[in-house]
Each structure stands twice: as C-alpha cells, then as structure tokens.
Structure 1
Amino acid sequence: MFSKSKINEPGAKPDTAKPADPAAAKPAAAPAAPGEFKSKAAPATPKAKPPASILSADLHISGNLKTTGDIQIEGTVEGDIRAHLLTVGEGATVKGEVVADDVVVNGRIVGRVRGLKVRLTSTARVEGDIIHKTIAIESGAHFEGSVQRQDDPLTPAGSAKKAAPAPVASS
C-alpha cells in the first residue's frame, strides 16, 4: 500500500515514470491548421452536448436551416428547418416545413411539422399539418390542419415509395 518508490515522490523525473498511455507522451498542444479546431479532451470521456443555437427576436432569416443540434427560435424564419430539437419561442414565427426529433411550439408555425415528439403549448399557433410519432397539445393552443401518426415521421411519405426495390427481370 505504501511504498518508498521514487516514482510517487513529488519532483520525480519523467524518465523514471513512464506514462501508461502513449498519447500522454506527446506534446500537450499541437498547432492547429487555420480554420481547424482541435480538442484535446480525453477520447474516453463523452463529448459535452453543445448549447442550442438561439436566433434572437430581432433576427429575420430568409432561407433554410439545417443542423444536427438544437435550435431555439425567437425571431422570424421564412424557410424550412431541420434540427434535432427545435423550440419556437412565444414571439417567434416560422413559415416553412419543420422537421425535428423533438418540436416544442410556443409561437407560430405556418407550414408542415414533422417530428418524433411534437408539443404544442398553450401559446402555440400552428397552421399546417402535423405528422408525428407522439403529440401533446395543451389547452389553449390554436391548431388548424390535420394530424397524422407515423412510426417514422421524419422521412417524407414520397421517399418511401422511391426507396422500394425495382422489379427484377428474370432470364
């Protein structure tokens, strides 16, 4: 349990204590190429989830948004949005199709909503169809459109037909 070994003493020389991990023997920081970000976090530790991208209330975007992360919209977006988690703030407006694993609507969406989990809060206003796996609509939410449950709502119905194998001609 206790030892008189010099390896454990403070100020021991690096030559006498060999690192168990060969990566630890490398220099602490290598210069990154321009435009490249290198993280020196230990590969065994899971990466921290990045925070949601927030589009502020004074921001108006015309165009499509696509990310594998989370988006919180407080402003106006005219275009389609694809994300992991999409939160539409109370004062926000989205005009276009929304596709996300999780969709939380506090504001207004004009267009189709596709999500595994869709939640319309009491302040939500949705004008368009909702295709979902699970849905929650709070009392007071305003919704005009149709609701359809699908096991995989993230893939468009038209692409499933295209993905079907073509008939094979036999000889």
Structure 2
Amino acid sequence: MPFSLLGSQTFFQGKVILKGEARLAGHIEGTIISEDVLIIEESALIKGEIHGIVVEVSGVFEGNLHAAELLRLTPTARVEGDIAAYKLVVEEGAKLLGKLSSLDPPRHLKDDITLTVVS
C-alpha cells in the first residue's frame, strides 16, 4: 500500500491534508489533517496541531493532538500539549506532559455494534 513520506531532512511550515497513510520524519510547524494512519517517526519534530484517525508517535510533538480512533506513543515518543483520543496506548519509556481528554467512539464504530438476542 503506497504512503506519503516527509523525510528527515525536510522542513515544512503550513497546513497539510493527508488522504492515505503517511510517515513524517522531518521538522514540521503547522496543522496536519490525516484521514488515515499517521506515523510520526523517531527523527520527527512537529509543532502545531494534528487531527487524525490513527496516530502513532515515536518522535517529538508539541501542540494539540486529536486522534479519533487511536493514539499510540512508542518508547521514544515525547509529547507535550493537549491530547484528545478515543483510545490511548502509552508504551513504557514514552514521555507525555499535558492535558488528556477521552473522546466518544467514532461514529463508524458505534454503527458496527450489533446486539443478538438469543432465546
């Protein structure tokens, strides 16, 4: 499956909208909107806002982060700011400083819930 890559030698400032899976390894300042899986590589330094579905952080992030389904912080992650996520996984070694908020399940997860009556 193809993905977008912003390499470790890249500096980007502004707003970016990512439609497919993306890996960010450079220095980014601004707003990132991801409609798929977003992976923040260990070499990345990101300052600003992230709005994503599934976000995995291994690098440094400072700002506001919103993960509609899942936020995973790996052992090398350094995150500072306001975090909102439906599910949060913090692996041993990850550093997190800020305010955490729990989100309601995404609409498509609510719609997938079915009940079966057994009589």
TM-score normalised by structure 2 residue count: 0.83
Q: How does 1:40-119 map to 2 (within 5 A)?
A: 50-83=1-34, 84-115=36-67, 116-119=69-72
Q: 2:84 aligns with which of 107, 131, 144?
A: 131
Deviations 1:78-115 (A, max 9, x none): 11101121100001011111011000000011011100
Q: Compare relative contact order (CA 8 Å, sep 6+) and give the higher one, 1 or 2.
A: 2
Structure with greater Cα Rg: 1
Instruction: Tell me the alpha carbon deviations over residues 128-161 of structure 1, each in whole angstroms, 9 at most, x when there is no partner.
Output: 11100001001111111011111158xxxxxxxx
Structure 2: runs of 5+ lacking an equivalent: 107-119
The residue type equivalent to 1:82 in the other structure is I
Q: Alignment identity in percent?
A: 35
1:91 counterpart letter in structure 2: S
Alignment partner of 1:141 is 2:70: no
| Rounded Cα–Cα distance in structure 2 between residues aligned with 1:69 and 1:100 | 11
2-structure distance, mates of 1:112, 1:152: 19
Task: Give structure 1 regions of 4+ aligned residues with deviation exceeding 2 angstroms.
Answer: none
Amino acid at match of 1:79: G
How far is 1:67 from its partner?
Answer: 2.0
**In structure 2, the residue corresponding to 1:112 is in which secondary structure?**
strand
- Give the number of equivalent residue pairs: 104
Question: Partners of 1:86 and 1:111 in 2: how far apart?
Answer: 16
- RMSD of aligned residue pairs (Cα, Å): 1.2
Q: Which amino acid aligns with 2:52?
A: A
SS at match of 1:69: coil
Give the match's secondary structure for 2:28.
strand
